[in-house]
Amino acid sequence: MRIAAAAYPLEPLQSWGAYQDKLSAWVAQAAGQGGDLLVFPEYGAMELAMIAGAEAAGDLERALHAVSALIPEADALHARLAADHGVHILAASAPVFAGGRRPVNRARLFAPGQAGHQDKQIMTRFEREQWDVAPGGGLTLFDTALGRIGVLICYDAEFPLLARALVEAGAEILLVPSCTDSLAGYWRVRIGAMARALESQCIVVQAPTVGPAGWCPPVDENVGAAAIYGPPDRGFPATGVIAEGALDRPGWVYATVARDDIARVRGGGQVLNHAHWSEQARRVRNVTITPFAAIRP
């Protein structure tokens, strides 16, 4: 399959038509380059806030509601584009009010005639302490025509047990939409994504927001580079980086990967991290604290 990871710039779009045109152009470009699986970033949907006006986009609480109100229309647009182009699309995540005062951070996956969603599991300090975004439903494994796919939204990729639960359920590809406001934040997610590819010998796709968006405070600064990672082992690059874009440069990054390569490295790699994961449990049950013995002269 050919994977396309977006380094996506947020724009102060003034109308629904402007958003529709932008998204349609991005999807058409990736599909035109042979993309089968298109991955958009965390909180990329926040550019919808400006449609409700500058005051709404500039207010933490009002921006949540403005974006959430447009998600049904955005979902219909993504579903149509997936069908028209015959592709799978992970839509940019968005705050969604799903039956409570506190919204969840939700990414939605679309394929021709199919749709599903994954909510963020572990919230960052900003989401907890200032924005009041809540964890959503549990983990979901998507069994698709392209393979078994899991989604770890940004900070979630820094927690190996979340990834491992998806991998043990059968995940071959992990999608990591991200939104980080500093170089350190980008590298935290990148290091987590690459570690998950190493531990579980799978493909991990990172798609970030990039560039300034001062008109919407929760996403005012965005730093990142789109990339596709794999295990640094047989059949994959020695660096573990299958493809990557330049830092903060908008656009698509592409890589062609094969599910057979994942199965092959899991079964016959130079190391077998995926198979040997369970051996950790019996090695960490007891930790012995042993003081150094005195050395006699």
81: domain CATH number?
Answer: 3.60.110.10
Q: What is the DSSP letter of 156?
A: G
Question: Structure pTM?
Answer: 0.96
pLDDT of residue 100: 72
154 assigned to some structural domain: yes
291 assigned to some structural domain: no
59 assigned to some structural domain: yes
294 assigned to some structural domain: no
Q: Rounded mean pLDDT of 271-282?
A: 95
Q: Which domain holds residue 117?
A: 2-283
pLDDT of residue 288: 86
pLDDT of residue 38: 99
Which residues neighbour 294 within 8 Å (Cβ) at sequence distance 6 or greater? none
Helix (H) or strand (E) holding 266: helix 259-268
295 assigned to some structural domain: no
Band of residue 103 on the pLDDT scale cut at 50, 70, 90: very high
Instruction: At 283, list the tokens.
Output: 């090695």
Contact predicate 233/269, CB 8 Å? yes
d(CA 72, CA 78): 10
Q: How many domains does the chain have?
A: 1
Q: Rounded mean pLDDT of 175-197?
A: 98
SS3 144: strand
- For residue range 108-164, list pLDDT tens digits in order: 999 999 999 999 999 999 999 999 999 999 999 999 999 999 999 999 999 999 999
